[in-house]
Each structure stands twice: as structure tokens, then as C-alpha cells.
């Protein structure tokens, strides 16, 4: 059925043919087709195309975000982590004393503050100087090396390492002080001695100086030579300005200061140590000889390590001592004799059941005496050089 309707001054056609319809509601010709369930409209088609484009754009953004997350950020941080941009140390050079170890990983400085290191590796170029394992350096020998530190796979720092005998381990070059093992040594005229054997923390570049070359001469290797009697100060100075000094006493060849026990009855064992044998109750007057041309005070002190076995009675002038063996016990005791200038010698006293008199020392007179007891009293000491038997 055909039907034509005009609602305005313009031509308008409405056609209802089955399910189809054409309508024109204004002065222009327009067509709307309703055919079954299909609708064709120029306005509806344009809207559907825009939504599709937006969806595609959002999908592309999501894919790009996922790519950035998994391939660019996963090696550095999670959502709450700060990316590491750099690592450093207190100094670009590290000094380590030979034979020691150093924990390098404790001194890593991370940039920016608060950033987290998820992985770190260490490597070095010269294993003959040092080895490094898990950030701990173990020195091998004096020398130079360079360590490469890599954090999170892409942040790198190199640090130089100097291994030396005369440094203090750390990032500042601090060398140990020079010192001598002794404050004072003695030397005879014409005798020589290598002072480098007594110098601690020294190097090959040492300047040696004698306070008086007429008494002791020193060469550029640290060897000293006694020239004349006297006392000097030898000073060692290195190129860094460190210095140490030692006093050298020079004595004439015939003045080797010592304490001698050269009385008859005193012997020496296989090692050259003095010995004296006494019977129970026997006494001996010991008068040591102090050999020194410069020592004016030759008084002595006497000490015994076993007073229950040996009794000492020092003379008023402190130049001699009376040694009395025990009344009943036998055994050994050691007497230490010391001079005012710290010369020291020792005498081993062996107390037996019978005397072994008749021994001959290196000279001097016998000081051996013997005594008995009457009513528990001690027989008076016999003067030196005389001996009495019961």
C-alpha cells in the first residue's frame, strides 16, 4: 500500500512497504529505511566508529605501560623503591696494609639517599696483589690494583687500591710511624752494625744522620761504625718526613762492661753460666767483680729465688754477700746479681748432702766455709779465703 503524506511546504514522502519506511520531516528530502530489524543511520554509524578508536588507543597505552614495567624498571626497583643512579666511596683510592683484609662493601655510598641495591658484583685486575670475594679484600703482596663494582647490573664504579707494608688501612694515606726496636745499643770501637734490622716501618728511601760522626759514622744504608769512645744519637728520616732516633754508646775494645764471678769454687756449665756447689750447712762469701772503667758506683744488689734453701747476707758496703746452704734440704736456687747501671749476671747454687770443694774458678780466692750447729745456733761466718770443717 502506497501512502504519501506532506507535513510541510517541502515534499515529504512516507512509504510504509512491509517493514520499510521513508520519512521526510523537513524541507529537505530525507530517507530512513526500517527494514526488518536493520536500521541504517548516518549519525549512528559515526558514533560507533569513535568508540572503537578510543578502545584501541587505550589498549595500546596498556601494552606500552606493560612493556616499560617489565623491560625497563624490573632490574632497578619495585613500586616503592628508589632507582639507584650512582655509587661511590669516601675516596677514589684505598690503602691497605700488606697481609691484612678490608671489608670494602661497608663503605659503599649510594645515590640518591634511600635507594636500594638489589645486586652487586666485584672484580679486580691483578690477583697477584689482592683477591676480593663478596666485597671483602684479602691482600696478597705489595702492589697496585683496580676494583670494579657494579650495582643492579648497570651502575658502575672503579676504585684504585694500593697495598703496602707501611700504610694504615683506609681511604686516607696514613703511614705508620718509624720506630726502633730498642732505645739504646752499645758498640765497640771499629765494630759495625746494620740499623735497618732494628727499624720498624722503614722503606728503601731513608736518610741517616749521626749527631757526632767522630764517635759513630753512619752510611746511606744505615750501617754504623764505632769511631771513638762516646755517645751519639742516630736519626732515620724517610721521604714523607717520618723520623726515629736511637742512642748508640761506643766503648773502647777493652771496656766491655760486665759482672764476673771469678772466685775459686765457682765453675761454669756448658752454656757458660756460673755455678756453685755447697753442702748442707756450708756457706760461701761471694765477692763479684764489676768490670767497668766508667762506672763509679759499683754497689750490687742480690736476690735469690728460693729463700728456704739458700740464705743471703749482704755486706754493709754491698760489694759481697754470704751464701748459706740450707740446714736440712737439698736442691737448687738461683741468685741474681745486678749493678747500679743494670749489668746483670746469675749464679746457680746447688745444695747437696756433701761438699764438692776443691773446684777451681777463673781466679780469685776461695770464699767457701763450713759450719755446724750448737743448740740450734748458726756457726759464725768464717772470713773469706778460709774454710773450716766439722
Domain that residue 243 falls in = 179-251
Task: List the grid coordinates of 114.
Answer: 634511600
**What would the mean pLDDT of 156-167 be, rounded to a whole number?**
90
If asked whether residues 222 and 245 sit together in one domain, one would say yes
Query: Residue 369: what pLDDT?
Result: 53
Residue 389 within a domain: no
Residues 167 and 190 in one domain: no
φ, ψ (nearest 5 deg) of residue 352? -120, 180
Does any domain span residue 34? no
Q: What's the pLDDT score for residue 314?
A: 92
Domain boundary among the residues 228, 251, 274 is at: 251
Query: Would 68 be classed as within a structural domain?
Result: no
Evaluate if residue 325 carries a pLDDT over 90.
no
Per-residue pLDDT, 281: 86
Identify any residues that bridge with 380 across adjacent strands, giving them in sequence order: none
Contact call for residues 389 and 382 (beta carbons, < 8 A): no
| Tens digits of residue pLDDT in 204-237 | 789 999 999 999 999 999 999 999 889 999 999 9
Residue at 13 is within a domain: no
Three-state secondary-structure class, residue 18: coil
Which of 197, 225, 251 terminates a domain? The answer is: 251
pLDDT surpasses 60 at 388: no
Task: Give the percent of the chain with pLDDT over 70.
Answer: 72
Please indicate, yes or no, whether residues 225 and 284 belong to a single structural domain of this protein: no
pLDDT in tens, 92-103: 999 999 999 999
Q: How many domains does the chain have?
A: 3
Is 127 in the same domain as 154? yes
Residues 214 and 152 in one domain: no
Q: How many CA atoms lie within 13 A of 364 on its CB side?
A: 20
Q: Where does the pLDDT of residue 8 fall: very low under 50, low under 70, confident under 90, or very high at 90 and above? A: very low
b/e for 164-201, b at 16 or more Cβ within 10 A?
bebbebeeeeebeebbbeeeebebbbeeebebeebbee
Q: CB within 8 A of 261, min separation 6: which ones?
A: 274, 286, 288, 289, 337, 345, 347, 361
In a domain, 12, yes or no: no
Q: Is residue 19 part of a domain?
A: no
CATH number at residue 315: 2.60.40.1080
Same domain, 106 and 124: yes
Specify the length of the chain in residues. Answer: 390
pTM of the entire predicted model? 0.33
10 Å CB burial of residue 14 (0-12, 13-18, 19+) is middle
Q: What's the pLDDT band for 108 if we cut at 50, 70, 90?
A: very high
4 in a structural domain: no
Residue 247 has pLDDT above 80, yes or no: yes
Q: Are 163 and 173 spatial neighbours (Cβ–Cβ below 8 Å)?
A: no
Q: How confident is the model at residue 344 (pLDDT cuts 50, 70, 90)?
A: very high
Q: What is the mean pLDDT of residues 231-250?
A: 90
282 shares its domain with 374 = yes
Amino acid at each position: 500500500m502506497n501512502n504519501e503524506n506532506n507535513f510541510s511546504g517541502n515534499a515529504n514522502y512516507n512509504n510504509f512497504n512491509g517493514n520499510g519506511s521513508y520519512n521526510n520531516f523537513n524541507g529537505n528530502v530525507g530517507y530512513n529505511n526500517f527494514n526488518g530489524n536493520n536500521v541504517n543511520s548516518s549519525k549512528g554509524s559515526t558514533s560507533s566508529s569513535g568508540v572503537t578508536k578510543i578502545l584501541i588507543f587505550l589498549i595500546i597505552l596498556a601494552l606500552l605501560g606493560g612493556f616499560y614495567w617489565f623491560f625497563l624498571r624490573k632490574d632497578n626497583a619495585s613500586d616503592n623503591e628508589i632507582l639507584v643512579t650512582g655509587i661511590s666511596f669516601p675516596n677514589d683510592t684505598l690503602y691497605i696494609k700488606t697481609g691484612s683484609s678490608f671489608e670494602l662493601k661497608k663503605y659503599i655510598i649510594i645515590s640518591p639517599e634511600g635507594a636500594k641495591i638489589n645486586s652487586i658484583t666485584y672484580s679486580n685486575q691483578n690477583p697477584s696483589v689482592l683477591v676480593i670475594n663478596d666485597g671483602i679484600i684479602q691482600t696478597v703482596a705489595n702492589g697496585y690494583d683496580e676494583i670494579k663494582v657494579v650495582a643492579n647490573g648497570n651502575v658502575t664504579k672503579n676504585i684504585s687500591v694500593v697495598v703496602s707494608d707501611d700504610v694504615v688501612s683506609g681511604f686516607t694515606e696514613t703511614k705508620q710511624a718509624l720506630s726502633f726496636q730498642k732505645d739504646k745499643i752499645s758498640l765497640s770501637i771499629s765494630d759495625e752494625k746494620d740499623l735497618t734490622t732494628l727499624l720498624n716501618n722503614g722503606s728503601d728511601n731513608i736518610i741517616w744522620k749521626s749527631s757526632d760522626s767522630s764517635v759513630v759514622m753512619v752510611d746511606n744504608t744505615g750501617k754504623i761504625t764505632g769511631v771513638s769512645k762516646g755517645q751519639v744519637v742516630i736519626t732515620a728520616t724517610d721521604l714523607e718526613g717520618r723520623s726515629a732516633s736511637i742512642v748508640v754508646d761506643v766503648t773502647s775494645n777493652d771496656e766491655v762492661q760486665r759482672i764476673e764471678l771469678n772466685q775459686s769454687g765457682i765453675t761454669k756449665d756448658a752454656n757458660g753460666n756460673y755455678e756453685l756447689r755447697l753442702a748442707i750447712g756450708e756457706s760461701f762469701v761471694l765477692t763479684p767483680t764489676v768490670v767497668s772503667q766508667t762506672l763509679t758506683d759499683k754497689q750490687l744488689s742480690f736476690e735469690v729465688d728460693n729463700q728456704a734453701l739458700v740464705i743471703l747476707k749482704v755486706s754493709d758496703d754491698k760489694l759481697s754477700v754470704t751464701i748459706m746452704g740450707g740446714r736440712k734440704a737439698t736442691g737448687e736456687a738461683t741468685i741474681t746479681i745486678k749493678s747500679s747501671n743494670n749489668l746483670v749476671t746469675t749464679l746457680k747454687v746447688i745444695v747437696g748432702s756433701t761438699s764438692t770443694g776443691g773446684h777451681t774458678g777463673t781466679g780469685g780466692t776461695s770464699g767457701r766455709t763450713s759450719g755446724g750447729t750448737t743448740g740450734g745456733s748458726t756457726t759464725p761466718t768464717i772470713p773469706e779465703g778460709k774454710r773450716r770443717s766439722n
